[in-house]
With several copies, the nearest count.
Chain A
Amino acid sequence: MGMDGILALAGANLVSPIILSFLLGLVAALVRSDLSFPEAVAKGLSLYLLFAIGFKGGAGVAAHGVDALLVAALFAGVILSILLPFIAFAMLRFLTRVPVIDAAAVAGHYGSISIVTFVAASSLLAGRGIPAESYMIAVAAAMEAPAILSALWLAARRGGTAERVGAELWREILINGSIILLLGAFAIGWFTGEAGLAEIRSFIVDPFKGVLCLFLLDMGLVAGRGLRSSRGVLSLGAVIFGIVMPLVGATLSLAAGLALGLSFGGVVLLMVLGASASYIAVPAAMRVALPEANPALSLTLALGVTFPFNLTLGIPLYLLLAGAVTGN
């Protein structure tokens, strides 16, 4: 598929209600409308999405079984999560003049993952009838935390002053709410299987895409407000980083996915995980452990640049790339 194909696919992706809802939020925030979601509603939507995506993943594993690949995929995810921050750090130091401590914090975000980007990609795959390994959601959970380790190591090593990371912080990171909810729902879905899914299908399957629209509308609002209030935070180099880094992450993940022998859909999802940047778990950990790092920089990059890029152009691109390589 040539450039035409890419554009056609990106175009098709762009006219989905999901993407347009995000753009609506972005535009509303940029024109300074007072449209806003209460914090509790946003959290409620995200609890729903985490529960639903975890449960469906687990039910999928119950239906299709699990093989040795699961362990290998988890392992690959962890390695990617540990490795990507080093690349991100080097790239940032090359492209921008941000201090070591900020570069380390940003790097941590890019090693970790954005679950809503993963959800949007799953949705696109499902819409096109492309199957993927159900346990990829567990891989997503496994990739949330390891990147933090690398970020802290980079900060400490390279002159930053990372707070002594006690057992307490590790506990917080490893069992943070979103990991527990994802993995817990995954376990419940796996355990109760098809029967469990049938019981709650009309809650977690049928309305899922609609809820995702509302959540992305909110994400658009938050991203837009972030962009507006941090004018000046982003240099050109940083913006370039925010677009090139996901491509690098996706490419490395493509290689890993092929090496593992994941399905076409699985490879795409791993690419999306590699390409996306955390906006929930890592920011909180960084505030605790690297309080001197500027949170506006990481969040604006992750939510204002990389997230929209992945959502609109990135995902279709990864789909095409994976398709070209695997012959799908």
Chain B
Amino acid sequence: MKMHEAKRVEIIIEAVMEGRLTNALNEAGVTGYTILPVSGGSGRSGQWSREGQVGRAGGMVAVICLIHPDRLDALLESAFAVVERHIGVVSVSDTYVLRAERF
């Protein structure tokens, strides 16, 4: 099948920042993304788990964004502005997508 080059951006960010991140993405014209729940993890600020938690603090989400390579920089800049002072990680991988008209 015909595949098209694209970038897969994975942003793991605090749950309280989810809305701010997606707003920033929307403003940068990035309207395609998928949010996965995260149940736990570990990093420089220690280990955590969502089990039994009530509050929104102390949890993270993973935002996955498939995007045309040309638009990567705009995405990263807007995402970075949100992530900058916060804990979380951003990674970008090469990928190929079906139905390029969607990205």
CB–CB under 8 A between A and B in the complex?
yes
CA–CA, A218 and B53, complex, Å: 8
Chain A residues with CB under 8 A of B55: 279-281, 283-284
Chain B residues with CB under 8 A of A43: 54
Chain A residues with CB under 8 A of B50: 39
Considering only CB atoms, which chain A residue lies closest to B51 in the complex? Answer: A36
Interface membership of A2, Cβ < 8 A: no
Interface membership of B41, Cβ < 8 A: no
Contacts A294-B45, A295-B58, A296-B45 given; indicate if A222 touches B16 (C-beta within 8 A).
no
Chain B residues with CB under 8 A of A206: none
Residues B85 and A36 in contact, CB atoms below 8 Å apart: no
CA–CA, A41 and B52, complex, Å: 7
Chain A CB within 10 Å, residue with most, of B48, B52, B86: B52
Interface membership of A42, Cβ < 8 A: yes
Q: Count how many pairs of residues, one from A and one from B, have CB atoms less than 8 Å apart in the complex.
A: 66
Contacts A287-B14, A288-B17, A292-B85 given; indicate if A42 touches B45 (C-beta within 8 A).
no
Considering only CB atoms, which chain A residue lies closest to B87 in the complex? Answer: A291
CA–CA, A230 and B48, complex, Å: 10
Name A270-312 residues within 8 Å CB distance of B: 279-281, 283-284, 286-288, 291-292, 294-296, 299
Chain A residues with CB under 8 A of B87: 291
Considering only CB atoms, which chain B residue lies closest to A303 in the complex? Answer: B55
Name B46-82 residues within 8 Å CB distance of A: 46-58
Chain B residues with CB under 8 A of A56: none
Residues B16 and A288 in contact, CB atoms below 8 Å apart: yes
Interface of B is mostly: loop
Name B8-47 residues within 8 Å CB distance of A: 14, 16-17, 20, 45-47
CA–CA, A36 and B86, complex, Å: 24
Interface residues on B, range: 20 to 34
Chain B residues with CB under 8 A of A280: 54-55
Query: How far does the Cβ of A32 sit from chain B's closest Cβ, in whole Å?
Result: 9
Interface membership of A13, Cβ < 8 A: no
Query: How far does the Cβ of B14 sit from chain A's closest Cβ, in whole Å?
Result: 6
Chain B residues with CB under 8 A of A288: 16-17, 20
CA–CA, A222 and B54, complex, Å: 10
Interface size on A, residues (CB 8 A): 30
Query: How far does the Cβ of B73 sit from chain A's closest Cβ, in whole Å?
Result: 24
Chain B residues with CB under 8 A of A221: 51-52
Query: How far does the Cβ of A130 sit from chain B's closest Cβ, in whole Å?
Result: 28
Q: Which of A225, A283, A286, A295 contacts B45 (CB 8 A)?
A: A295
Considering only CB atoms, which chain A residue lies closest to B58 in the complex? Answer: A295
Residues B46 and A230 in contact, CB atoms below 8 Å apart: yes
Residues B85 and A286 in contact, CB atoms below 8 Å apart: no
Residues B86 and A39 in contact, CB atoms below 8 Å apart: no
CA–CA, A43 and B51, complex, Å: 11
Chain A residues with CB under 8 A of B52: 36-39, 41-42, 218, 221-222, 225
Residues A291 and B86 in contact, CB atoms below 8 Å apart: yes
Chain B residues with CB under 8 A of A292: 85
CA–CA, A41 and B50, complex, Å: 11
Considering only CB atoms, which chain B residue lies closest to A32 in the complex? Answer: B19
CA–CA, A42 and B48, complex, Å: 16
CA–CA, A106 and B78, complex, Å: 31
Q: Which of A222, A230, A287 contacts B57 (CB 8 A)?
A: A287
Chain A CB within 10 Å, residue with most, of B20, B50, B56, B87: B56
11 A–B contacts, CB within 8 A, in A order: A36-B51, A36-B52, A39-B50, A39-B52, A39-B53, A46-B54, A222-B53, A225-B52, A229-B46, A284-B57, A287-B57
Given contacts A287-B14, A287-B57, A291-B87, 18 further A-B contacts (CB under 8 A): A36-B51, A36-B52, A37-B51, A38-B52, A39-B50, A42-B52, A218-B52, A221-B52, A283-B58, A284-B55, A284-B56, A287-B86, A288-B16, A288-B17, A291-B14, A295-B57, A296-B45, A299-B58
Closest 10 CB pairs of A and B: A283-B57, A280-B55, A37-B52, A36-B51, A284-B57, A218-B52, A39-B50, A284-B56, A291-B86, A291-B85
